[in-house]
Chains A and B, each alone.
Chain A
């Protein structure tokens, strides 16, 4: 069994250390890097890459989002999981647009946090109805503008986004589409991948537009 290497960027020391202890109690997890600000993480994490970084969004100076964007340039295989009070947060959506593949809620039960991390490691992501709605808007916009790359979002993924945006639970969606909950979460992970590509293309187009 491979061990999931985890790093934590969280300015609340008590929270970070409790999490670390809990992770190290698991057979399949190991955590020996804790950072209390984005700057330290940006300095040391690229040299000691891990599988999953748990990132608190609100950090003292540079934000968690900035830390993630910087570190991901050096660690292409690292997955970023945002740590947040609630999932309708605008910043969570921003993070996902820039490459985060998951988020965990701070008041989530510890067991649920651990399950979420295992799911993330095996390529599954969560998605709230609000995030689903925002992603549908983005993809609809990209479809209209022919200058941008027409995204290869499959009809299955579109269907899934529609159901998620209406607030259906993973279980209900799995039943409707006749797939497992695990597969639902893997579809979400792929949608996040595509969203990130779309976001990069958009940024590149804006950049090219400015140069002309």
Chain B
């Protein structure tokens, strides 16, 4: 019995030493295998993500290149044609004494001038280098300043919280610019205002543009809607930007508040 006992004790001792070691080896092996699998999986998703990002980037670059190409082709082809028409009509003026004919030529000249201006604005919107808030606000400021000064109206321009480098797409730039342009044209045409205050603020990924007439007549929005004054057009463009516009009537004229999400 004593021999038997000894053997049992021996095996028991052995087992109690070996088993934990064995178990830990298995455990470690499992852990390692699991880690490796996880690592591989992570890598695979990382790869897929990277590939997706590269694809997106390539797509973005392709779109940007295309934008620049369209811009430069418009500039070269349409630009030269329109410039020629503009200069020819300018020249024709000198030879004409008939008033009716003179007026027609003046219309051709004005129209080609407007087209050249519109074309410049499209090329401006297509230029990816200008897809930032800084260049955009400067463009609006200069346009409003020149346009209002030409019509004897003062401009008071205030900007707050602007981060010049914030990205803003060409499409948003174009739509927002055209809304502001349309409002400015309406102010000059109908309001009789003596000055305009424009305040632009960037806040929580939003761009808020406030335009206020001083000494203007003001109008009732519901009454004027759809009477060929561009209000429909303005609403359409604001809607396209998923933005919001308010028309407020005061004693001193109108106040327009446009809010759009930047990104």
Contacts and interface: CB of A to CB of B under 8 A. Distances in A.
Contacts of A167: 137-142, 145, 157
* Size bin of chain B's contact surface: 35 or more
B131 to A, nearest CB: 12
A105 to B, nearest CB: 8
B86 A107 contact: yes
27 contacts: A12-B84, A12-B87, A14-B87, A14-B88, A14-B91, A15-B87, A18-B88, A18-B90, A19-B87, A21-B91, A85-B79, A88-B123, A90-B127, A106-B83, A106-B86, A107-B113, A107-B120, A128-B142, A130-B135, A130-B139, A133-B134, A133-B138, A166-B137, A166-B159, A167-B139, A168-B145, A169-B145
A191 to B, nearest CB: 17
Contacts, number: 91
A14 B140 CA distance: 33
Interface in A149-166: 165-166
A27 to B, nearest CB: 18
B120 A86 contact: yes
B149 interface: yes
Interface of A: 11-12, 14-15, 18-19, 21, 58, 85-86, 88-90, 106-107, 110, 128-130, 133, 165-169, 171-172
The 4 residue pairs across chains A and B that have the minimum distance between CB atoms: A167-B141, A167-B138, A129-B138, A86-B120
Interface in B106-126: 112-113, 116-117, 119-120, 123-124
A163 B116 CA distance: 27
A169 to B, nearest CB: 5
Nearest to A88: B124
A15 B141 CA distance: 31
Nearest to A86: B120
B87 A171 contact: no
Contact of A14 (B84, B134, B145): B84
A79 to B, nearest CB: 22
B260 to A, nearest CB: 19
Given A107-B86, A129-B135, A167-B139, 20 more contacts: A18-B91, A58-B75, A58-B76, A85-B83, A85-B116, A86-B75, A106-B83, A106-B116, A107-B83, A107-B116, A107-B120, A129-B139, A129-B141, A130-B138, A133-B134, A165-B138, A166-B159, A167-B141, A167-B157, A169-B142
Contacts of A90: 127, 129
Contact of B75 (A85, A130, A165, A169): A85
Contacts of B140: 167
Contacts of B76: 58
Contacts of B157: 167
Nearest to A15: B87
Contacts of B87: 12, 14-15, 18-19
Interface in B28-60: none
B128 to A, nearest CB: 10
B123 A166 contact: no
B119 A88 contact: no
Nearest to B143: A167
Contact of A12 (B80, B124, B137): B80
B130 interface: yes
B135 A133 contact: yes
